Structure 1
Amino acid sequence: MFNIIHLLLLLFLTGSSVLAEGTKPILTIYTYDSFTASWGAAPKIKKAFEKECNCTLKFVSTSSAIGALRKIQLEGKHTKADILLGLDTSIAQTAKATGLFEKHDLNTSSVVLPTAYSDAYFVPYDYSYFAFVYDANRVKNPPRSFEALADMPKDFKIVIQDPRSSTSGLGLLLWIKEIYGDKAGEYWKKLAPHILTITKGWSESYGLFLKGEADMVLSYTTSPAYHMIEENRTNIKAASFTEGHYGQIEVAAVLRSSKHQALAKKFLSFMLSPTFADIIPTTNWAYPVIKTAKGLPKAFEQLTVPSKMLLMDGKKIEARRKAYINEWLDAIQK
């Protein structure tokens, strides 16, 4: 009897060992909801990366990338996140100051952007420009400047995102600050009557716009490409503003607490591959940061392309962001 029990125990332990060796590591990425949507980038990226990593890629989404950062901050060293993906350069400095992230140690010389950007912690993977998007069938004469937007008839409504919870909302805040400087608060007071609502994230705003609830929505110059390619519609357009357009460069970083540091950095390296770059234009509807093997879809040739990317220094934003937000709150609440 002893020998049989010993044999069964040996077989069990051997089997457990094989099982453990065959278990793939799980790499967890926190990001925003539109990235993980069925039509978003995550499903294709998961499939492509899993082919070469011998791992399981898991995406966890919140309504915004800022929300994902806050989730990580609340979880602290116990977070399950290995990577935070979807912040942009406007909030990256804030994230860096938390001390939660690890240097990537990658060569990013292949990155091509409209403006210089390099960071030891955050790796860029796509970019676009903020813009107000409208339906040309409904809005025949869209505003072509911030002044023209504020001077539209009283019943002309826009939907925007909250700068406290959304990178795009923060982008608009900085866009207006770059143009109006000390008079930004005065401009917000003029614009306030046209704001139908302020949503927590981009998805909610865009959904309201598509339902016809508002005349314009804060989105991106690349947003119309989705409608052209997926719906064969050319009536959704981005208004070109004479003052220029503020840019968004999206980035990702590895958590210092990650138990899969090497694998996480491998994913960041994968973000700079032609495979990843080819996925971005028709899933995240943005420009990849490296030249694609396939080239950009033809629809991108019809998009509004600003001559210059407005972008505020990250350290300046970190130092003054709270003051900018308070200025905004004070202006729109009066």
Structure 2
Amino acid sequence: MKKTILATCLIALPAHAQELVVYTYDSFTAEWGPGPQIEAAFEAECGCELTFVGVGDGAAMVSRLRLEGEGSDADVVLGMDTNLIAAAKESGLFAPAPSDLAAPDLPIEWTDDTFVPFDWSYFAFVYETEALDAVPASFAELAESDISIVIQDPRSSTPGLGLMMWVDTLFGEEAPAMWEGLSDNIVTVTSSWSEAYNLFLEGEADMALSYTTSPAYHLIAEEDAGKAAAIFEDGHYMQVEVAAALAGSDQPELAAEFLRFISTDAFQSILPVTQWMYPAYETELPEGYDSLAVPETALLLDPAEAAERRDAALARWQDALSR
């Protein structure tokens, strides 16, 4: 049995150390996620105390911040994506990013002056290669098959929101028909990515909505080459995850320091083997990433268009799956 030995390092902080509170999603803060390593690395540089607070999945963050308003305990929020940027900005709760940030290394041009990208990947359905006789190469083929899938709720989960925008981008007003076609395939709709992916791993479904980079975890961490991402000829919707500082933070300088830290190798090098996503800034990728399937066509709505289409897309999703 493969065993992992975790060494715990205690960093002595001065009694008057400043605290930076970062809201993020639960999987980021997990023992196996990037949070613990990033916490140790940043505290070693800042001489401060970094506290990650898990607040559900990414799409729930905007709702929580709206409820807390300017009295929120958060200094930084990490884990929303481009589909949520416009809604987040409408809240008026976020501060401009530092003007001296490094330029990200993304497949798209990044021009936002508030939100800082930290990782990215393509949404995809992940499957066990030995379990499927035929792998669907499009949404239409998936809908016509008897393959079972687990997906996430777009109201609480950024992958769920990404899938909804993926279908809406491809099919527009025909999206309800596609959702109706997929409804027989859907085993359940979960509130978070981790819940859905665990159901897939437990054999409750043939596929789970995840990322093209998810098989890297199984290949690198488990030495299991039996998981793969189905590549659709339709194209794949991208996710770019972001962080931003709160305007009401009582630690604005420390928040700005953390946003700068995101672009460093100390932060970025942790992501490919804990977050299992592509880094948003140039860093060396571990062996195994070069074997991942890469879609030929990338899809991504700009934040304004995503916000404009979101309510109608959600209504289509709810109506189709409620029938």
Say whether 1:304 aligns with 2:293.
yes
Say whether 1:290 aligns with 2:273.
no
The residue aligned with 2:30 is 37
Structure 1 position 146, deviation (Å): 0.6
- SS class of match (2:288): helix
Say whether 1:252 aligns with 2:243.
yes
Structure 1 position 109, deviation (Å): 4.8
- SS class of match (2:154): coil
Q: Choose which of 54, 58, 63 in structure 1 pairs with 2:56.
A: 63
1:141-171 residue CA offsets vs partner (Å, 9 max, x unmatched): 2111111100102xx2100001111111110
Counterparts of 1:151 and 1:107, CA distance in 2: 50
1:159-189 residue CA offsets vs partner (Å, 9 max, x unmatched): 0001111111110011111111221111111
Say whether 1:176 aligns with 2:167.
yes
Question: Residue type matched to 2:117 in 1?
Answer: P
Counterparts of 1:82 and 1:231, CA distance in 2: 36
Structure 1 position 136, deviation (Å): 0.9
1:196-240 residue CA offsets vs partner (Å, 9 max, x unmatched): 000011011001001000000000000000001111000011011
Q: Which runs of 5+ in 1 are unaligned?
A: 1-20
- SS class of match (2:83): helix
Q: Percent identity?
A: 45
Structure 1 position 309, deviation (Å): 2.0
User: Size of the alignment, in residue pairs?
Assistant: 311
Q: Which runs of 5+ in 2 are unaligned?
A: 1-13
Cα pair 1:30 1:81 within 8 Å, conserved = yes
The residue aligned with 1:27 is 20
Structure 1 position 70, deviation (Å): 1.8
Cα pair 1:166 1:201 within 8 Å, conserved = yes
Counterparts of 1:22 and 1:177, CA distance in 2: 52
Cα pair 1:132 1:219 within 8 Å, conserved = yes
Cα pair 1:221 1:238 within 8 Å, conserved = yes
The TM-score normalised by the length of structure 1 is: 0.91
Cα pair 2:138 2:233 within 8 Å, conserved = yes
Counterparts of 1:151 and 1:302, CA distance in 2: 29
* Structure whose residues are more often helix by fraction: 1
Say whether 1:46 aligns with 2:46.
no
Say whether 1:313 aligns with 2:308.
no
1:233-275 residue CA offsets vs partner (Å, 9 max, x unmatched): 0001101111111000000000011000010010000001111
The residue aligned with 1:116 is 109
- SS class of match (1:129): strand
Matches within 5 A, 1:1-334: 22-153=15-146, 156-292=147-283, 295-334=284-323
- SS class of match (1:101): coil
Question: Residue type matched to 2:177 in 1?
Answer: E
- SS class of match (2:110): coil
The residue aligned with 2:5 is none
Question: Residue type matched to 1:287 in 2?
Answer: Y
Greater shift after overlay, 114-123 or 36-45? 114-123
Structure 1 position 108, deviation (Å): 4.1
Counterparts of 1:60 and 1:67, CA distance in 2: 13
Structure 1 position 62, deviation (Å): 2.3
- SS class of match (2:269): helix
Counterparts of 1:289 and 1:276, CA distance in 2: 10
Structure 1 position 110, deviation (Å): 2.5
Greater shift after overlay, 216-225 or 176-185? 176-185
Who wins on radius of gyration, i.e. which is larger? 1
Counterparts of 2:48 and 2:309, CA distance in 1: 41
